Amino acid sequence: MRCKLQTPSLWHQLVAASTDDETWPLGSVRWQDHRMGQRLADKVALVTGSTRGIGRAIATRFAREGAAVVVTGRTETTGHAVQEEIRAAGGEATYVRADIGREADVEHAIAAAVQRYGGLTTLVNNAAPTDLVGPGRGDRSLADITDDAWDAIMTVGLKQLVWCTRHAAAHLAAADGASIVNISSAAAMRGVPGIDAYTAAKGAMNALTRSLAVELAGDGVRVNAIVCGMVLTSEGAFKMMDHPVIGPATRALHLTRLGLPDDIANVALFLASDEAAFVTGVNLPADGGALAKMAVPDISAADLQLD
């Protein structure tokens, strides 16, 4: 069965058996229906911020590959919906309500995972302060951002990663084939105006990924990050792509189409699996080639006389 996303208002629905590229605003985007596999058999994965977007895609993908998945997030209705979606497909999942901006909730979620499944092999630090980043939201240039907004973004964007890793480390060290996958952004690798707190948090995440890989290597825990390009995770993202300036400029940054949550889930699956046993300390781009391209025109084609 082939599946394809249809219209921006139905961004989250995969409509089976569609082959009409005209209904999809980003060009041809199709992928195979993922059948149950065993690439993560015997793994227990906790995915932060997994009630929607990239986190949800990772949780469901991991479950399809045999992992027991702990779904976390603040919204109970969507958390239970993801849990039941996974179970209905034959997978194993448990939703634990957690506000990742509170260390006590982080500690509780990890303890619940260990109690429910007897251990923890995989931690995906996906939660991000997306509700504070974007037009009209809290993130700003350094000259304009408030201290409260900066602290809130840093807590959810970076400090929670410290909490998650701190409370999960001993359990991961006790497991075979353990790993941490951090979800970062290409915004950390290029200068981006107006979202200074977010880019600082993701840049620190990239640096911490390398440090933790070294620090936890002796315990057999691998640590990697996925550096994401523009991924369409919400209706708000589609609205930005409809903007007459933001949309074309963002598309022009990528060598391929824009990303979908499943694209990041597939990379996370590889990094969490034993197939990546020789991979650690890597900030791996999954960005449609955005980091490979400089924002300059083809100067060889310019109608100029230089001599």
Q: φ, ψ for residue 272 (rounded to 5)? A: -85, -15
* The predicted structure's pLDDT at residue 198: 87
Residue 226 has pLDDT above 50, yes or no: yes
Query: Residue 7 falls within a domain, yes or no?
Result: no
More confident residue, 23 or 62: 62
More confident residue, 153 or 33: 153
What's the average model confidence in pLDDT over 47-73?
97
* The predicted structure's pLDDT at residue 24: 40
Query: Residue 19 falls within a domain, yes or no?
Result: no
Query: Residue 10 falls within a domain, yes or no?
Result: no
Contact 269, 62 (CB under 8 A): yes
Residue 252 has pLDDT above 50, yes or no: yes
Distances (CA, A) of 241 to 6, 237, 251, 297: 15, 6, 8, 22
* Model confidence band, residue 55 (pLDDT cutoffs 50, 70, 90): very high
Most confident of 5-14, 29-38, 171-180: 171-180
More confident residue, 114 or 130: 114
* The predicted structure's pLDDT at residue 130: 67
Average pLDDT in the chain: 84
Query: Residue 104 falls within a domain, yes or no?
Result: yes
Query: Residue 5 falls within a domain, yes or no?
Result: no
More confident residue, 190 or 236: 190
Active site residues: 198
**In which domain, by residue range, is 278 found?**
33-233+260-286
* The predicted structure's pLDDT at residue 180: 98
162-180 pLDDT, tens digit each: 999 999 999 999 999 999 9
Q: What is the dihedral of CA 231, 164, 132, 135, to 10 degrees?
A: -20
What CATH number is attached to the domain comprising 83? 3.40.50.720
How many domains are there within the chain? 1
Distance CA 51, CA 278 (A): 30
Query: Residue 18 falls within a domain, yes or no?
Result: no
* Model confidence band, residue 297 (pLDDT cutoffs 50, 70, 90): low
Query: Residue 141 falls within a domain, yes or no?
Result: yes
Residue 133 has pLDDT above 60, yes or no: yes
* The predicted structure's pLDDT at residue 138: 62
Query: Residue 147 falls within a domain, yes or no?
Result: yes
* The predicted structure's pLDDT at residue 197: 85
